[in-house]
A and B are shown apart, each in its own frame.
Chain A
Amino acid sequence: MKTTLRIALAGNPNCGKSTIFNKLTGAKQTVGNFPGVTVERYEGRTRFEGRDVSVVDLPGVYSLASYSDEERVAAEFLKNETPDVVVDVVDASNLERNLYLTFALKEPGRPLVVALNMVDVARRRGIDVDAAALSKELGVPVVQTVGNRGVGVDEILAEAVRLAEAPSSAFEPSSTPACPSDSAKSCGHCGGECELAQTAADVARYKEIGRVCARCVKTDADVPESGSDKIDAILTHRFLGIPIFLAAMYLVFQLTFALGAYPMNWLETGFGALSAWFDGAMRDGFAKSLIIDAIIGGVGGVLVFLPNILILFLAISILEDSGYMARAALLCDRWMRRVGLHGRSVVPALVGFGCTVPGIMAAKMLGDRKERLATMFVLPLFSCGARFPIYALLIPAFFPLEWRGAILWGIYLIGILLAGVVAKILDVVFKNDEPAPFVIELPSYRRPTLGVVGLRALERGWGYVKKAGTIIFAISVLLWALTTFPTLDAATVAKFDAERARIVKKTDQIRAEAAEAQEIAEDAQLAENAEAVAEELAEVDAAESQAKLERSFAGRIGRGIEPILRPMGFDWKIGTALIGAIAAKEIFVAQLGVVYSVGEADETSAPLAETLRANYTPLVGFCIMLFCLIATPCMATFAAMAQESGSWKWAVAQWSSLTALAWMLTTLVYQIGSLF
């Protein structure tokens, strides 16, 4: 007897499988990806009658025919990892359709337990399923369950243990004719014969299912139309549907950013305090700079978005679990289809306006791999919140008041249009000869189970934290090193120190003279002096920062790439700032501040705006924004893309092709613009 019993949970989407999984394993679960695909793999453990039980939650599928990643994953898992027992969760209110998968799962030598779920919902709809009769018809144990109340969960385990311990006696060969194995279906290469055989087999299978249902299901025909009908009449209304969807998404974003602002603030304060503590506790030097600028600044800067991500995923999980997401996909399909995307791509796209990273993670819910990749690929073109500071700095710096709103709107619009164009190109590249047919199940509306949505949001959030601790940490340190080394030589540092000493000495002298002269100390004048001194000192600091940056690798790279940047109208200073933007877009503003030695800069920085106006034309200003919109998805996006697509190649392809596109477009705009 094996010590650990391995159970695989299979079932249709929306059959309540996740709820059963949660009730089976509690919070003891891990989430990962199935190898090579972005399908999430949930695994949990529990103990039952002294045995360790591990449960794998397979993705929700309608068949095992390998038409989607989910189906392939489920079929391969069952074939290669041969779990001890398969538990098939079926929705009692939708038995006929659910049994199609059950028949596909039924295979000699594979212990199978059917969990007849949501029997309460079914009864309310006037559907009564005779579990004993069903068990007899199918030749497998059938357990009645109500997932959200945990009814029948222990019985599932009991049956599973019983089957695993005495598989040969418990699993009687089915009394029904051998149903076609789904593996035959996936041999799509053998052409016409197979297809014909398959269609006939499917019809036969449904005929058999119909026979089983006729014996086991009693339907009360007089039950009034379901509430879903009435809700759908409004939510999928041909005119009202879209506005309602937009309002719902607006609410989600508001919640994400408004509600998330508080914990984000606490985190920022916390990281600030941490920085201050290290600042006080450590001596100036590389170690201190590494901790404060690279580790706290880089990793902390990404971790502060955790609350937003948690709230966003919670909201999306609720929308998904309630059944609304399928309706939203239906409504948007018409627009998305034109560029080869799926209706469901609209949600990641909208999320992307807030932040690209959760957008890419939200693309998980797309079923088709090509559509998922295409969606993730174009997501950085939906201008995220981190790019806003760049626009907020540059637009007022270069454009008159009456133009500002239109230009900002234009930038966002260019991003959306480009996303459409790129998606269309990918559509051609992927050779989607036939777009995945649009057919989607609209599950009955139901109240989301808090346990399910909460746990999923937490798990995804934890994945984000792990990423911040690894990949983002490494890139932060690298960028820090690029802007820090090589350091100024001793002579230059001494020169700046001497300059500072001179200013301080001069001030002391003035003070001493004033005291000597016994003049009536005029406070105002003293204060003015102090201010002037502080300003002078800041100027020296800024000059030192500039000298440091110019000497650093980042500065040298900036100079090195200047020939490439020239056609777009950029000089090495912009180039150096752009290198900072590789890490995170908002760093561009801070970095530009350093290059122009105006000290600490943010987007409201008036001196920086003035400096920019003095040095560049509005055309260059616009080109910077255009370039930042399209080029170099930030490092967090890069990491998310690599993780979610299952391959670094996709992340590299996205990064380099978007950057190349940005270069071409910006060059085009600059060169044409320069003619006038």
Chain B
Amino acid sequence: MTLADALKGQKVTIVSMELSELSVNRLTALGLTPGVRVRVVDNSLKDASIVECRGARLALGRGLARFVVVK
């Protein structure tokens, strides 16, 4: 399952990020790393997922969320 498929309110753990170095580094600086727990705040927007992670609320474009593998 990817972050884009997660449901609102669901708590998931990031398994891996199948993205370019640039994107991975960006997400890392914002607190998204393999193993971290993420709460899905809203996934109803057409192009973005809103998540909460390490106390910060982040919006990720679909292009990113679709390649963040979670469980």
Contacts and interface: CB of A to CB of B under 8 A. Distances in A.
Contact of B57 (A198, A241, A441): A441
B23 interface: yes
A443 B50 CA distance: 12
B12 to A, nearest CB: 17
A206 B36 contact: yes
B54 A94 contact: yes
A333 B42 CA distance: 16
Given A67-B26, A198-B25, A229-B41, A437 B54 contact: no
Interface in B41-65: 41-42, 44-48, 50, 53-61, 63-64
A166 interface: no
A334 interface: yes
Nearest to A330: B59
A70 to B, nearest CB: 12
A97 B30 contact: yes
Interface in A431-468: 434, 437-444
B56 A97 contact: yes
A238 B62 CA distance: 14
**Which of A63, A94, A438 is most buried by chain B, counting CB atoms within 10 A of its CB?**
A438
A202 interface: yes
Nearest to B53: A97
A514 B26 CA distance: 91
Contact of A437 (B35, B45, B63): B63
A440 B30 CA distance: 9
Contacts of B64: 437-439
A236 B42 contact: yes
B44 A97 contact: no
A334 B41 CA distance: 19
A441 B45 contact: no
A440 B59 contact: yes
A487 interface: no
Given A94-B56, A434-B20, A439 B27 contact: yes
Interface string A313-352: 0000000000000100010011001000000000000000
A94 B55 CA distance: 5
Interface string A78-103: 00000000000000011111001100
Interface string A216-227: 000000000000
B19 interface: yes
B34 to A, nearest CB: 7
**Which of A65, A326, A439, A442 is most buried by chain B, counting CB atoms within 10 A of its CB?**
A439
A4 interface: no
A238 B56 contact: no
Nearest to A435: B63
Contact of B30 (A185, A232, A441, A444): A441
B67 to A, nearest CB: 10
B15 interface: no
A444 B57 contact: yes
B30 A228 contact: no
Contacts of B25: 63, 65, 67, 185, 198, 202
Contact of B63 (A188, A238, A438, A444): A438
Nearest to A440: B59
Interface in A47-72: 62-63, 65, 67
Contact of A334 (B22, B28, B46): B46
A614 interface: no
A96 B20 CA distance: 24
A539 B16 CA distance: 81
A564 interface: no
B50 A188 contact: no
Interface string A200-237: 00110010000000000000000000001100110010
A202 B22 contact: no
A441 B56 contact: yes
A268 interface: no
A671 interface: no
A236 B57 contact: no
Interface of A: 62-63, 65, 67, 93-97, 100-101, 127, 185, 188, 195, 198-199, 202-203, 206, 228-229, 232-233, 236, 238, 241, 326, 330, 333-334, 337, 434, 437-444
9 contacts: A100-B28, A100-B31, A236-B42, A236-B45, A437-B23, A437-B27, A439-B27, A439-B59, A442-B58
Interface of B: 19-31, 33-36, 41-42, 44-48, 50, 53-61, 63-64
Given A94-B55, A100-B31, 19 more contacts: A94-B54, A96-B54, A96-B55, A100-B28, A101-B29, A202-B33, A203-B34, A206-B33, A229-B41, A232-B57, A236-B50, A330-B45, A330-B48, A333-B61, A437-B19, A437-B64, A438-B61, A439-B58, A440-B59
